[in-house]
């Protein structure tokens, strides 16, 4: 049988332009879905719907960041297998949503997102190489690195910082630790939505539907993670308004998904391990938030990244746990 011609750039079979455009579009949708570790383009579509429901700017800038990072990886000849399943797009997605939230909607922000998404692509490739020897994934660290750096630097750049919205935590205007039923159920859905910086409960519900379309197990892990983060914050005495906004849930959601089947084999011990990880991420959130507030930054998804790296690095020493292939 003859060997099909391959693309010199990526070592893949040459395909008609229409098919390549289709594959590129699917890679972008998967890049949006991979924020929550999902390779389904249907999940990506639903996630984009959720973002546009939250506000056109969130959907548009998420796409801008995802397209930029995906295109950068393709142009630099990152293996097509990584690009096609969205692993070179999810950090750019979060870069777009995070920067438009913190810097405001403008053409300058759009240019900053493009630059930051290119940077996220390069940081991602570097971390893939550096972490390979430890068998650790880059997770959302590329997004955290470039976004944190930009947010710390932004006040020095008038064109970037002028018109940025003031975003104090909900507890700044509604202090108190008395939790109402509204705080509980809003916080549950918002914990899922805050992975994409969204604090409207119905947007979190749409994200949950997107997860269920990809995997009911993942959707269940996300629900458990949000509930664990909420309960951990409540037990420790967190501000009720912050709990209701989902600020204690989103890192736990990502950690629960990562440790409950994505990177650790699902088992009774694995579930217990994921629960402990989700609790740790919730407790780490205010610690990292307070630390970065000093230098003008934000916690972003650092609590999830650091917690998950530590928990995954520990797995080889524990006979009851196994990493996924």
- Same-domain status, 83 and 174: no
Does a structural domain hold residue 2?
A: no
Q: Which domain holds residue 212?
A: 168-325
159 and 173 both lie in a single domain: no
Select from 153, 264, 279 the least CA-distant residue to 225: 279
The C-alpha atoms of residue 317 and residue 216 are separated, in whole angstroms, by: 30
Handedness of CA 169, 243, 109, 294 (dihedral sign): positive
Rounded distance, CA 291 to CA 40, Å? 36
* Pair 115, 229 in one domain: no
- Which three-class secondary structure state does DSSP give residue 12? coil
Q: pLDDT category, 7, cuts 50, 70, 90?
A: very low
Query: How many other β-carbons are positioned within 10 Å of the β-carbon of residue 278?
Result: 32
**Residues 90 and 172 both lie in one domain:** no
62 in the same domain as 52? yes
Asked if 219 and 73 sit in the same domain, the reply is no
CATH of the domain at 199: 1.10.3430.10
Are 197 and 236 members of one domain? yes
Determine the straight-line distance between the first and last CA of the chain, rounded to whole angstroms: 32
Of 120, 145, 167, the last residue of a domain is: 167
Whether 325 shows a pLDDT value over 50: the answer reads: yes
**Is 17 contained in some domain?**
no
Calculate the alpha carbon distances from 40 to 27, 72, 78, 324 in Å.
10, 21, 21, 19
Domain boundary among 167, 198, 231: 167
**Domain assignment of residue 10, yes or no:** no
Structure-block tokens of residue 323: 């990493």
Give me the percent of the chain exceeding a pLDDT of 90: 87
pLDDT value at residue 310 = 98
232 and 153 fall within a common domain: no
H or E element at residue 262: none
Query: Are 140 and 53 members of one domain?
Result: yes
The pLDDT of residue 2 is 44
Lowest mean pLDDT among 212-216, 263-267, 295-299: 295-299
Q: What is the pLDDT of residue 5?
A: 45
For residue 12, being part of any structural domain is answered with no
Domain boundary residue, one of 121, 137, 167: 167
pLDDT tens by residue, 178-190 = 899 999 999 999 9
pLDDT over 60 at 84, yes or no: yes
pLDDT of res. 181? 94
Q: Is residue 123 located within the same domain as residue 39?
A: yes
7 in any annotated domain:
no
Instruction: Indicate whether 269 and 280 sit together in one domain.
Output: yes
The predicted model gives 150-167 an average pLDDT of 92
Domain count for the chain, please give it: 2
Task: Give domain status of residue 324, yes or no.
Answer: yes
């Amino acid at each position: 049988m003859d060997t099909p011609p391959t693309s010199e750039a990526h070592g893949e079979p040459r395909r008609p332009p229409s098919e390549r455009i289709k594959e590129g579009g699917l890679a972008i949708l998967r890049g949006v879905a991979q924020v929550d570790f999902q390779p389904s383009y249907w999940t990506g579509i639903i996630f984009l719907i959720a973002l546009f429901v939250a506000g056109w700017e969130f959907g548009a800038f998420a796409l801008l960041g995802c397209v930029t990072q995906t295109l950068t990886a393709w142009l630099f000849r990152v293996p097509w297998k990584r690009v096609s399943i969205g692993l070179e797009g999810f950090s750019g997605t979060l870069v777009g949503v995070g920067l438009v939230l913190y810097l405001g909607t403008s053409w300058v922000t759009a240019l900053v997102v493009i630059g930051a998404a290119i940077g996220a692509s390069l940081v991602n490739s570097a971390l893939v190489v550096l972490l390979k020897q430890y068998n650790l994934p880059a997770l959302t660290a590329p997004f955290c690195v470039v976004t944190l750096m930009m947010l710390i630097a932004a006040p020095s750049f008038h064109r970037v910082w002028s018109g940025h919205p003031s975003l104090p935590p909900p507890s700044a205007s509604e202090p108190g630790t008395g939790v109402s039923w509204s705080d509980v159920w809003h916080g549950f859905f918002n914990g899922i939505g805050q992975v994409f910086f969204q604090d409207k409960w119905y947007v979190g519900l749409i994200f949950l539907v997107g997860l269920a379309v990809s995997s009911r197990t993942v959707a269940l892990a996300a629900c458990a993670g949000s509930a664990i983060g909420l309960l951990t914050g409540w037990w420790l005495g967190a501000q009720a308004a912050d709990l209701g906004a989902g600020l204690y849930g989103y890192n736990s959601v990502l950690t629960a998904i990562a440790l409950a089947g994505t990177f650790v084999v699902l088992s009774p011990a694995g579930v217990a391990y994921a629960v402990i990880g989700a609790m740790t991420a919730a407790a780490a959130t205010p610690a990292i938030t307070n630390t970065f507030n000093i230098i003008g930054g934000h916690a972003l998804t650092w609590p999830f990244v650091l917690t998950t790296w530590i928990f995954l690095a520990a797995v080889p020493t524990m006979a009851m746990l196994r990493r996924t292939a």
